[in-house]
Structure 1
């Protein structure tokens, strides 16, 4: 290893795994802050390298809280800074168990440690309670990391399939794993209604169905929806967003956090359907982005809201002028200064 490569290795962005949107965060942070990617659980194998790094960003701390605290306190004792991105801070405010209260106390204590910074991906203006457990609140990178020019080229085949199937109707897309936490119970209830506006709205479900939700796939297929029961690639997902007018982000109340699907819908200027009073509804209002809020416990009122908005949903050309550059700039300068 050359002296130059050793210097590069001393500037790290670390994550335990690549699951979910983590790979996208890792790639983005590596490029944005000129950091070398590092992965794996904090252990004897890598703790010294992390402790000695000149700059260290934990791209997400959610998979290894103990490792983050251990490394962060060690580096603080050595006079070095550590920054962590907190994806699910709302779990600190869950009152249903002792472990959540311990977690909240741990983050409140960590907030007072010099040179240790934690940033949530929801602004404090949206969730003021996060100020008690974190250094700052920023806009989720999934809301701005691809604005202007798309990193993933449009998949024209899936775009044309959706547009041909829609035949002039509006398109509502459900993207990703088809699980209960993503709001399938409510969606199932909506599709059971004879008033579902199939004549005005094409439902696209693109993602792998678990066995427990096969009935939803059958029901969606029977009303003429487009069901893609498999893993969809990043290029295909870009094509689905481009073909959509509305994007399903109305998740179970237990999933009350920032969402990559929601963020991408904002970037593509597609209107997200969200749960009323959720974090992402509050984010929509904060950034002046159009959304359609649904009452999760009332399929009747939720169906009324969808029917009312199908005809009036804004197109990409008339969507709000969002401050993508400002969000990116604030994220970069805030985190870079903490590093």
Structure 2
């Protein structure tokens, strides 16, 4: 049983992957309390109090409840009193075997998360694409003409958290970047950045200011030589765009020293690191190559490990692999 308070951002992709993997289905509060099946909260942060209450009530009768921490960084490092209280509660919940809190980052990337979580999986958007979706991206990529400009894409909602101001300003002030790259922003532009989008278009950039469909998103990845993930500290928790790029073997541009940078280094994900001031300088140099087959192998490995950890956390029977004849 799956619980998600909203159906925005990455939740629909999570739902599709978990429905495909476990035959899971959504439920509400009453369903969670009476269900004998294990319950998985898709995002603890959006319903923290409810998560704690449901975990305790279900633990009393020995029923499994698990939840995903999608934004663990601030929770485990902030000194704000709200974060300190939540840390203490999640740490206390670890004493209940029926409660299994998981992060979507390896503990090797964020060791402090082990204080509040029993385990971790890879962000589902690191391994959720089907073979058909991989094939579609590969086909679109082969249709690209040799000699085209390199393409750097910024995907998702274009806002301060995604570094849209830096993305547009870097393009506008550097003629060398405009000669070498085509900058494309795909996703709804936050109202505060409408002016940035206008200046960006005037300089020759492409801004698609609307909600992008799943098919259009895959098309944007197919066109990309590198994907923008150089987010400021406020957006450092976001890994979905990076995860899809990793699955498809597309290098990402990340902020040096960020959580995303550490994740790429630990997992050997093709990437280029840059500071906010050094974007143009880094993009003037060679880029890591796209490698679709490497991306598929990586996604397969991420999926295998994550499925095993989810099954263990939910108390489900592990998959059996038929013996060779």
The more displaced of 189-198 and 270-279 is 189-198
**Structure-1 residue corresponding to 2:8:** 19
**Structure-1 residue corresponding to 2:227:** 247
2:173 is the counterpart of 1:184: no
**Structure-1 residue corresponding to 2:204:** 224
* Gapped regions of structure 1 (runs ≥ 5): 1-11
1:95 deviation in Å? Answer: 2.8
2:306 is the counterpart of 1:306: no
**Structure-2 residue corresponding to 1:210:** 190
For 1:335 and 1:151, the matched residues in 2 are separated by 24
**Structure-1 residue corresponding to 2:18:** 29
Trace 1:268-287 onto structure 2 (pairs within 5 A): 268-287=248-267
1:30 deviation in Å? Answer: 2.1
**Structure-1 residue corresponding to 2:319:** none
For 1:158 and 1:209, the matched residues in 2 are separated by 26
For 1:32 and 1:21, the matched residues in 2 are separated by 17
**Structure-2 residue corresponding to 1:193:** 173
Other structure's SS at 2:154 match: strand
C-alpha change, 1:144 and 1:185, in structure 2 (3 Å) is same
For 2:150 and 2:294, the matched residues in 1 are separated by 15
Q: Which has the higher helix share?
A: 2
C-alpha change, 1:319 and 1:35, in structure 2 (3 Å) is closer
The number of residue pairs the alignment matches comes to: 314
1:109 deviation in Å? Answer: 1.1
Trace 1:56-135 onto structure 2 (pairs within 5 A): 56-135=39-118
C-alpha change, 1:18 and 1:25, in structure 2 (3 Å) is same
Contact 1:83 1:338 in 2 (8 A): yes
For 1:102 and 1:141, the matched residues in 2 are separated by 28
For 1:156 and 1:317, the matched residues in 2 are separated by 11
C-alpha change, 1:211 and 1:86, in structure 2 (3 Å) is closer
Contact 1:29 1:59 in 2 (8 A): no
Cα deviation per residue 1:80-134 (whole Å; 9 max; x = unaligned)? 1111111111121343521111111111111222210011110001111111110
1:200 deviation in Å? Answer: 1.1
Contact 2:189 2:210 in 1 (8 A): yes
**Structure-2 residue corresponding to 1:9:** none
For 1:204 and 1:263, the matched residues in 2 are separated by 19
Contact 1:175 1:206 in 2 (8 A): yes
1:293 deviation in Å? Answer: 1.2
**Structure-2 residue corresponding to 1:8:** none
Cα deviation per residue 1:130-152 (whole Å; 9 max; x = unaligned)? 11110112211101111543179
Contact 2:168 2:196 in 1 (8 A): yes
Other structure's SS at 2:46 match: coil
Contact 1:51 1:71 in 2 (8 A): no
For 2:76 and 2:212, the matched residues in 1 are separated by 34
For 1:210 and 1:84, the matched residues in 2 are separated by 30
For 2:135 and 2:216, the matched residues in 1 are separated by 9
**Structure-1 residue corresponding to 2:323:** none
C-alpha change, 1:52 and 1:148, in structure 2 (3 Å) is closer
2:302 is the counterpart of 1:327: yes
C-alpha change, 1:239 and 1:26, in structure 2 (3 Å) is same
1:218 deviation in Å? Answer: 2.1
For 1:137 and 1:121, the matched residues in 2 are separated by 6
Other structure's SS at 1:227 match: strand
